[in-house]
Structure 1
Amino acid sequence: MIGQTLGGRYELLARVGGGGMALVYKARDNLLNRYVAVKVLRQQFMHDEDFIRRFRREAQAAASLSHPNIVSIYDVGQEEDTHYIVMEFVDGPNLNEIIRDRAPLQTDEAVKIASQICDALDHAHMNQIIHRDIKPHNILIGLGGRVKVTDFGIARAVTSSTITQTGSVVGSVHYFSPEHAKGVTTGEKSDIYSLGIVLYQMLTGRLPFLGESPISVALKHLQEPFEQPREVNPYIPQSVENVILRAMRKNPQERYGSARDMLADLETCLQPQRLNEPPVHFSSDDEPEADKTRVVPAIRPDMRNTIEAPAIGREQPEERWNSDGLEDKPRRRWVLPTLLSVVAVILIGVLVWAVVSLKGSLTPKDVQVPTVIGEEEQHAIDILEKAGLKVEMPVAEEPSTEDMKGKVIKQSKQDIEVKEGSLIALTVGTGPDLPTMPALTGGTLGEAEEKLGALGVNPDNIKPDEVYDDEAEPGTVIKQEPAEGETFDPENDTVKLTISKGKESFPMPDLTNRTENEVRSILQQNNLKLKDDKVIQESSFTVEKGRVIRQFPVEPNAPVNAGTEISVYVSSGPPPEAKEVPWDVTVSPAQDGVASEIQIKITDAKGENVDAYKAPKKITFMTTFTVKLWLTPDTAGSITIIRDGQVLNTVPVAYDDQPAMNQGGGGGQDAGGEGSGDQGGQQETNGQGDAAGQGTAP
């Protein structure tokens, strides 16, 4: 059924348990966005009216209870042939798993668990509900060690008179009370016996009664003693063993009078003055074995298929002495008894007359118990005291709706007549049983949303706010409201989360072409650091000496965070071996007197085909231009002359060439011709030739 949605809202996610009657699934309530547990009646029982009736009775029994140690019932439904109950989801193991993995438990832990179970049973018994199947499998341990009693599948009202269903004993035989095993009326003390066995198992790691069959175990509950807890685990305090011994008495009259009495004993049994108290003693233990009443299971015809009757032998009558001839002769012994009888009758008559005469003055009058549910606590006490009643102190408290906070939600008696001065127990609401806010700081926003979702928080009520933070990683929660450990209402309260965006970034300043002093000032203003607190010198033909060539690793205007280290490279000028070579270039127009556009491009250590002038030059007659080249021993240069968009000539310039002398001679050539002048280092181009014509100086 995993993946199926029941009732249009409960999406089954995974199977988490099950018993003989039903399967339990973890589900998500898509309407309230919270996890719930859904108990689904097994397929084979979907048409069995008896099982359906028992299944519904579980919901009715548990739904009438509201207690922090009892699993809450949220909803009941039927979809086609599928019957289901929606209840509180408890994220934790059951007590049977804990006993299996860690028994024997520490005494304080076992007593704490038993106290919470006892508190839950007291609440159920006050509402006339007997659980009848208390065992570790039905005890869930949630977050923080909170105990939750579940599975009221065979619970019955106090007036119930049998524990059989279709001829079978219902319940778990290892935790049966003797009266439960006999199939007679089970009451509150039956649950107390079962809880005693659970406490025994927690502290010893074993069950008090084992057998080859359920019948043999049931008979041991009825007839046999169990091994004392301290004989199994000598570390159990005597006061705690006394609690177990009293809870597990075979005679119900010798057990605790109520779950509340047992809870009171559990709450004090670990006090230092009680740890070494004497072993508990029962008067029935002093009876001779022959005089003790022998408990025999009741076997009815409809139970023969499930419980095998034990062999019960007939006891032989006791042999009596024959007194013939031993009695004394009759004597007149009737006088004294007769006199005493007469005196007794007279005294009884006087006593009856006195009781009748004083009845009116000694017997409290009957008063009507007013209903105070919904009244403020003190006002309710005043009403009851005015009616001649007393309020049991201290007043009990239980979670309630917000509107019933501080008001009476239950009273032990109402709308009946009781004797004047009777005690009335009140229960006052404390408001919703709200969870505490978990720790969200340090985790991611996604992790926080998952934790809050598991508590039933509405996603619309989660308000993230992003801020810059120099310490926290981006995306992590650095502040939460409500704070960790505070109670809050998952359905209504807003949860504010402050999320780190990491360190604040800003555009990287442009440091190029700046002096070292300017660089240091800019970095300091922007909370940036100069790596190793010094600049790196690097030769450059293009950047003026003492100014920044480039910066690393962040380029200008790229995002950068405060505190980032920046490396800066400053020009030291051209390298020492480089030299600047001037060169004269003489160019003629294409036709004398007609303007021609001249471009000169230089290739040297500074770059390739760099314009010698920012704009082309216009000439109408032969003109000489002086250009400068930066050359190194490893870098040769060249000069390219372009006239009216056409390349006239490219002159190579070597590192060792002599610079031009600015002397005019030189031969001219017409189109396509070549000539040589009498001076070196000067280039003349005659415009009389076509575009391809060129000449070189020697």
Structure 2
Amino acid sequence: MDTTVTDPLVGRLLDGRYRVESRIARGGMATVYLAMDIRLDRTVAVKVMHRSLAEDPSFVRRFIGEAKSVASLSHPNVVHVFDQGTDGGNVYLSMEYVPGRTLRDVLRSRGRLPAREALEVIIPVLAALGAAHQTGMIHRDVKPENVLLSDDGRIKVVDFGLARAIEATNQTRTGVMIGTIAYMSPEQVTAAAADARSDVYAAGIMLFELLTGSQPYEGDTPMSVAYRHVHDTVPLPSSLLPDIPPQLDTLVARATARDPEGRPADATAMLVAAVEAHRALPMDSGPAPQVPAAPVRPAEHPGPAGATMVQPAVNHTLVQPRGELLTTPAAGHPGAPAGPEPGAAARRGGSRRPTWFLITLALVMVAGIGLTGWWFSQTRTIKVPDSLVGMNIKLAQSEAERLGFTVVVGQAQYDEKVPKDNVLSTDPAGGTEVEPKSRLTLIASAGPKRVPVPNVVGMDQNAARSKLAEVKLVTGNIRRQGSDTVPRNQVIRTVPAVGNPVKEGSKVALVVSAGLLLPDVKGMPRDQADATLRTAGFLPEFVEQTDAATPCTVIAQDPQPGAEVDKGAVVRMTLSQCDNPGWHWPWENDTQPGEGDDKQVVVIPNVMFKEVKAARDELRAAGVTVKMRKGLGRGMVVAQLPGAGQQVPPGTEVTLWF
């Protein structure tokens, strides 16, 4: 039955963006669909987690975090994650669609692989894992089901981070445990702890399986297999098949050491060892297993994260850099029938040839010798392959030497686009015809060039500009900010912050101290203005004059509010007359509260030194309106007018300085 017909997601527009075309895989944790991203007009694979996981908040939180991490991982051997989201009860990933087969399919159809081909499968897997390890990311579930071999010859690793997200749940599924335990390191079994060396262990088990066609441990239950991982030493592949080269025994033994300290530190270290082992192998590293003559029928097989992928198994060239893996053996393999021995017909009845035949034969031989000499006197050439650019430098060096070049690795160069340790260029360039054993220089990318923002805090502007220019950075915007701790005209901080890596030529903004900014005390009562200025580090001076303003309040100040001044500066203020018996508040008259008409009044509460919002709320609750003015700008009331205890009509305006 066509399962896509009954699948409720097929035909839907997921999250308003992904039109689900068909179901291509289903497993214990997720279902994978072929979909069209209508926003970018591209085909993608959408992995939708099963409802039992999507309803677990701890899984969803971990899943989102891991998806963001994986999306930042860009490597040619990693299945790219484009997007993550939810649509109702559906939690999904949008990923690169890789048409092809899993490595598990290849093992089922072919059985074991020759040593050279096994390494050519494991090397790109290690390159993908190594890129992840360099960013601090661990796969945790390395196995053939999570290695995809595309129809165009690429090898890609899928499901980074999914195992970690599943660890956040309380669900246990026997099928998943069986698939995982076969490649699980001892420390994962005993302590549920995983680091880069755990991925190395799983890669070593997978290499063992590629070489021998079987896993090292089998058991009736998952726990029996787990027990052997913890207590047994993985056997050497040559103990099953004596023709396996010793370099491969050594590589598997190191990768699967029970003690993590005995393994390569990460996948990059194992990658270097694998490339060296590949280089040391003879070109004929063993007979290739036979490929079925007829195409394999479409079959269900477990896909990534336990999914069941339904795809035809096609005999394509799926391994890089060699083109022989998964292809039908060429004519002339050891099983081909032998043809007639050259020269046999000449020996039968050769004595009956006439003399003229011998003369003709001699002439032909002379001509042949001449042509042979001419042929070998010509200069034969080999072509520099374009495919070296973008390849891992170690793998490219091995491939170039195999093709007959004398390889020199030059000084790495910075590049914004080519990942670190991948070939940036070759000299001579790709496509150039050269003599065998010619010198070929490989230039690796050092990755994007970044320079840390130097520490210019505490410098004046000119010194900071010079320091930035020394490391080829440009001074950007300069913003002045008041500070009572950093002296005037010195740098308080940079944007981006000191130490952050940025591109050469980037602009770095400077925040420069304006020193002390003179607060606005106009309108404050004398005692509150005096306290405010002294607290801020100034020396206040007062001059009193006759004025009709509120008695004993500041009516002018010098320097003006906001002026940049040094600590200890003198601030001269002009006061309205403090002793002015003829002045009264606008609401005051000869009638005292409570006398005559029923006059409503409110008593102004004391909100001095309270947090601004709380002070404003308290005054409004008392029945007065509030006007805010910036004083020291520290979020706390430093002055109020009218003062606390005044009896005023409801709605009277009270000014607060903060």
Q: TM-score normalised to the size of structure 1?
A: 0.39
Tell me: higher relative CO, structure 1 or 2? Use CA pairs within 8 A at least 6 residues apart. Answer: 2
Q: Which has the larger radius of gyration?
A: 1
Q: TM-score normalised to the size of structure 2?
A: 0.41
